[in-house]
Structure formats: C-alpha cells, structure tokens
Amino acid sequence: MFDLIDQYEISIVWILIIAVLILAGFSYWFTKDKFGYTFLGVLRIIASIIYSPLLYFKNCLISLTHFGEKGDSELTESKQYLLSKILIITEFFVVLIGVFILSSGIITSWNSFLPPKYLRDQIESAEKYIHSLDSTFQFAKTNLERLDNDWNAKKDQLIKNFNDERGKNKLTAEKENNTIAAQLSSNVSFQDLKNYLDAKSYLTDKSSIEYTRTDLENYFLYNIPDENLKNTFKKYGDNWITIKLADIDYSNFSEVDLRNVIQPEYTNLKYQESNYNSEAGGNKTNLENMKAEAKYSLKSLLLGLLITFLSFVLYMWLLGLLLEMIFLMVDLATNVKKIRSDLESKLLEKKE
C-alpha cells in the first residue's frame, strides 16, 4: 500500500484533510445542526478503544479482590461451581500476564533508552583497566616523586659527592703512580712503559682505553719476568686507566648521565612513567570516544513505552472478549435454568 502511495505521490496529510471534509459534509447533510456530535462520537470511539480494556482490567482486579474477601462462599451456591472457579482463575492470569507485559515492556524500553550493552560493557572494562593502571603506577609515582624531591633539594650536593668520590679515586691513582715513577725512574722497562702510555694520552674513547689494558697485560706477561716488578707495572697501568676514565667522565658526563649514575632506579621509573602516560592516555582517549558514542535515546524509550501500552491494550481486548463470551455462556445457562424453573412453577400452579 505504501509503495502505491509513493508511486502516485499521494500525500497522507491531504488524504486526511479531504477525508475530514467529506465526513463533515455528509454529517451536515444527514444531521444538519448536530453534525458536530459526529466528530465527538468518533473521538469517543477512539478513546474507548484505549480506556475500555483498562476498565476491563480494573473489573478483573475488583473480581479478584471480591474473591479474596468472600472466598468460595458465593461460588458453592452455583451449579456451575468449577466453571465459575475456572473463570476466576482465568481472570487472575489475565491480570498477571497483563502486569508482566507492562513490566517487561518497561524494562525493554529502558534498555533501549540506554546505550547498547556491548558499549556499556566496553566502557566499564576500560574504566577498570585505567583504574588498574593508576593503582599499579601509584607505587612508581611515589618513588619517582621522592627521587625528584631529593634531586631538586640536594642536586648540587649529590653531584659534588659523586665527583668527590670519583676525584678521590683519581687522586689516589695519581699519588700511587707518582710514587712508582719516583721509585723506577732509572728502570729502562718502566721508561718504555711510561713512553707507551704517554703516546696513548690522546685516547678519549673508553673502549680504546680498555683495549689498552689488554695490551699491557700481554706486554707484562711476555716481557717482565720478575713478578714483583710485573705487579708494580700492572698497578701503574691500572692507575693510568683509572685516571683516563675519570677524565673522560668529567668531560662527557651530562647532568642526566650523572643522575642516572647517582639514582640508577630513576631511569627505570621514568620509563614506567612514559609507558603509563602513553598507555593511560590512549585508553582515556578511547574511553572518552566511547562515552561520546554512548548516547541515550529518548525516542526509543517513548516508542518502547507506546508499543508496550498498545500491546497491553490489544492483549486485554482479545482476552477480555474471550472471557466475556465464556461468561455469556455461563449467564445463558443460568438464565435458561431460571426460565425452566419459572415455567415449571407456573405449570404446577395451573394444574392446581
């Protein structure tokens, strides 16, 4: 039908307007000055379609209330006891199912008003995950704040202590080498060692300096047979390497490098903070996007409630008509019995 309307470009609004005008015309033609009551009758019929089932539902409730008050006292006097009891039970189920229709419809309408369940579940999971990230990071955050406070309050002292410790090692190595140089100033092998190390003074790479340590060990192994002298030479070479490494540290260490050495756990904590910021930030962005998508639908709620109410009205119409037909049969049987009883009484009176 709607395809036909679309095909011929028929306007539903104009159909309704013309239909009302035609109805008004015929009403005035047939009823003259009372044609307004025609529209009132139409409105009352439309209203009765809605309120009649509600009145029947009310009567069923009253019937159940009456049965609750009187019990079987009235039913036992009837010849249709079981049938009357079945009708009462049926009215009970009419009320019960009607209430279930309304309650289930309200719940369904409410669920349609809410965002989709899968989206609500995703939002709940995301919120729990972000909460777990916050809880896990809290310990690292506390330690990181402690290190930052210590560094900001004691940075200069911490760096000075570190440099003093390094300087102390370098100073000790220099004193020991000066003593060894004074003792072995006339030793040819020592002079060769000293000249070799002086030639290496240009080195500024730690790996190259460490490689020099290997060269010295090989040299001592094959060229210095005296163990005491070999140990002295080895001590001199180790001290030279300590001095060179300290000089490199002083020239190349930035404040960040120093901090990583002074507070070795700081780097790991900063890495955890970076991971947390990245992961938590991404999840919080996704959560905000999901919340923006999770909109409430007032239209679905109202439509669901309307469908629920119309379903309830249709249900009461169908069940009410069925029950009233059954009641009609019971009343018919009762009336037939009463008519027979009256006829028998009149026949007896005539015979007498």
pLDDT tens digits for 185-196?
Answer: 888 778 877 888
Average pLDDT, the chain: 77
| pLDDT confidence tier of residue 14, bands split at 50, 70 and 90 | confident
Residue 78 belongs to what H/E stretch? Answer: none
Determine the 3-state secondary structure of 74 from DSSP: coil
Q: What is the 3-state secondary structure (H, E, C) of 268-291?
A: HHHHHHHHHHHHHHHHHHHHHHHH
Q: Which of these, 258, 274, 264, 261, lies nearest to 141 by C-alpha position?
A: 274
DSSP 150-172: HHHHHHHHHHHHHHHHHHHHHHH
pLDDT of residue 330: 67
Nearest partner of 327 among 94, 47, 36, judged by Cα = 94
Q: Name which of 187, 167, 170 is nearest 232 in CA terms.
A: 187
Q: Which residue stretches of the chain are H helix?
A: 2-7, 12-31, 35-70, 81-113, 117-183, 188-199, 206-223, 227-252, 255-262, 264-293, 298-351
Tens digit of each residue's pLDDT (9 = 90 or more) over 214-249: 777 777 767 777 788 878 888 888 888 888 777 776
Q: pLDDT-based confidence at 334, cuts 50/70/90?
A: low
pLDDT of residue 207: 78
How high is the pLDDT of residue 3? 55
pLDDT value at position 120?
A: 78
Output the pTM of the full model: 0.46
pLDDT at 166 over 80: no
More confident of the two residues 106 and 201 = 106
pLDDT at 103: 92
By residue count, the chain amounts to 352
Residue 12 confidence (pLDDT) above 70: yes
Q: Taking 70 as the threshold, does the pLDDT of residue 77 lie above it?
A: no
Lowest mean pLDDT across 6-10, 55-59, 313-317: 6-10
pLDDT of 9 > 60? The answer is no
Tell me the range of 127-131, 187-191, 310-314, 321-325 where mean pLDDT is highest: 310-314
14, two tokens = 């104009």
Q: What is the mean pLDDT of residues 326-346?
A: 71
> Is pLDDT of 251 > 60?
no
Q: Return the percentage of the chain with pLDDT > 90, whole number.
A: 1
Contacts for 189-198 with beta carbons within 8 Å, 24 or more apart? 189/223, 189/224, 189/229, 189/233, 190/233, 190/236, 193/219, 193/233, 193/236, 193/237, 197/237, 197/240
Higher per-residue confidence, 260 vs 1:
260
Give the model's pLDDT for residue 4: 47
pLDDT 10s digits, 252-294: 566 666 677 677 777 777 777 777 777 777 777 787 777 777 7
